Amino acid sequence: MIKNYNSVPTPCYVVDRDLIKSNLKVLDQVQKETDCKILLALKGFSMFSLFPQIGQVLAGITSSSLFEARLGYEEMGKEVHIYSPAYQEKEFDEIMTYCDHIVFNSFPQYQKFKDKIKNNSNKNIECGIRINPEYSEIKTAIYDPCYENSRLGVTLAQFKEDELEGIHGIHFHTMCEQNSDTLARTIEVVEEKFGKYFHQMKWINFGGGHHITRSDYELDTLINTIKHIKSKYNVQVYLEPGEAIALNTGFLVASVLDIITNNMNLAILDTSAACHMPDVIEMPYRPEIIGAKKPGEHQYTYRLGGMTCLAGDIIGDYSFEEPLKIGDKLIFCDMAHYTMVKNNMFNGVNLPSIAISDADGVQVIREFNFEDYRNRLS
Ligand SMILES: *Cc1c(COP(=O)(O)O)cnc(C)c1O
């Protein structure tokens, strides 16, 4: 369902409300069938103009910082969870005003802040501890929280069962873009190592990385795994995906600024891998472009590059049925998650505008300018 995006000023992210709605429908089915709670991880997708729509279905948000917590609290106003590898003393009081669930990365961190939480008269905050089950199936080291000597979560060897007083939940996050068979194998290890502590918990948080809204995702295995943990230990189960909420819901529309040749055809776009799709370089991965194929499959192949002066600001090689012309629009797919939240203004390159499309058409809701650039510097 690609609408006519030719009218938007480029570069521009366009996120489609109906596509978000179809993802939410799948997530809602999981919630209804298992009575679990699903949170939006703002780290992956923080487009707050859609929070009212998302909040109609999901239980709330999870955050990784004070700012994300505040954004979720102010713009969605449902449950606000937080996990950070370490909290700063100077931010903690404010964090407690927004968050109802605080997950700690270590027992020393929990000890440091537990009295503050107990003594806060504002609200009842539930604490959790993140564990590292030392099992993951992620192949890319920078996305693997269980690589050797990882700082993320408490291993069984470091687990302090005599310091669990006041801890309501256990949290693990060991997956990335994975299917439910990975979850099932992970849960086996988690249960074997930490299951004996589950009985005294109120909730278990399965983290993110569940690619629930992908077309080949096996919902039954997820549903059975949640039901198994819920009934065996009498706990609530939380999932906190980011990507699954926004998967395949957004596009980045860009224009061709110039076409040059250096042993092959090169096109320079008004977008940038380094600034506007950093995971293309970091992950790395190759985004799909509507109407384009792999190099050589269509007659005209181009290397698409960004408008920064970083030599490696390359999106990739693509082939097209017709030669590209200056001014042509290219529509990159699946650009809603881990783009806007990771953007930067390297080279002083402006950020893409942000638009929402729905049955009424496409509406640009945010444009950026020099002030946005200048305000981050001094
Ligand atoms: C990144 C992250 C998430 C969200 O992961 P997705 O891959 O976007 O689903 C959830 N929880 C924690 C702790 C994370 O670090």
Residue nearest to atom 3 of ligand 1 (CA): 208
What is the CA(311)–ligand 1 centre distance, in A? 31
Rounded to whole angstroms, how far apart are CA atoms 237 and 246?
A: 21
Rounded to whole angstroms, how far apart are CA atoms 273 and 271?
A: 7
Last residue of a domain, one of 228, 246, 264: 246
Residue nearest to atom 7 of ligand 1 (CA): 209
> Does residue 146 carry a pLDDT above 80?
yes
User: Looking at the 3D structure of the chain, how many domains does it have?
Assistant: 2
Residue 290 lies in a domain: yes
Q: Which residues contact 123 (CB under 8 A, 6 or more apart)?
A: 96, 100
Residue 67 lies in a domain: yes
Pocket of ligand 1 (CB under 6 A): 41, 43-44, 83, 173, 176, 207-209, 240-244
Asked whether the beta carbons of 274 and 281 are under 8 A apart, the reply is: yes
Task: Tell me the residue range of the domain where 311 lies.
Answer: 5-13+250-335+343-374
Q: Are 242 and 256 in the same domain?
A: no
Last residue of a domain, one of 246, 272, 300: 246
Q: pLDDT tens for residues 268-310?
A: 999 999 999 999 999 899 999 999 999 999 999 999 999 999 9
CATH number assigned to the domain comprising residue 81? 3.20.20.10
3 state SS of 238: strand
Residue 103 lies in a domain: yes
Question: At 1, is the pLDDT very low, low, confident or very high (cuts 50, 70, 90)?
Answer: very low
Q: Are 197 and 83 in the same domain?
A: yes
Ligand 1 atom, smallest distance to 44 CA: 8
Computed over every residue of the chain, the mean pLDDT equals: 97
Mean pLDDT of 137-142: 90
pLDDT of residue 309: 97
User: Considering the chain, what percentage of its residues have pLDDT values greater than 90?
Assistant: 95
End-to-end CA distance of the chain: 44
Q: pLDDT tens for residues 358-369?
A: 998 999 999 999
pLDDT of residue 121: 83
CATH number assigned to the domain comprising residue 364? 2.40.37.10
What is the CA(329)–ligand 1 centre distance, in A? 32
Residue 29 lies in a domain: no
> Does residue 2 carry a pLDDT above 70?
no
pLDDT of residue 3: 60
Q: Which two tokens stand for residue 327?
A: 């001014």
Rounded to whole angstroms, how far apart are CA atoms 294 and 89?
A: 51
Q: Are 116 and 230 in the same domain?
A: yes
Q: Are 44 and 168 in the same domain?
A: yes
pLDDT of residue 122: 82
pLDDT of residue 7: 83
Residue 145 lies in a domain: yes
Q: Are 46 and 187 in the same domain?
A: yes
Mean pLDDT of 366-374: 98
Task: State the Cα torsion 266-267-270-272 to the nearest 10°.
Answer: -40
- pTM here is 0.97
Residue 25 lies in a domain: no
Q: Are 72 and 212 in the same domain?
A: yes
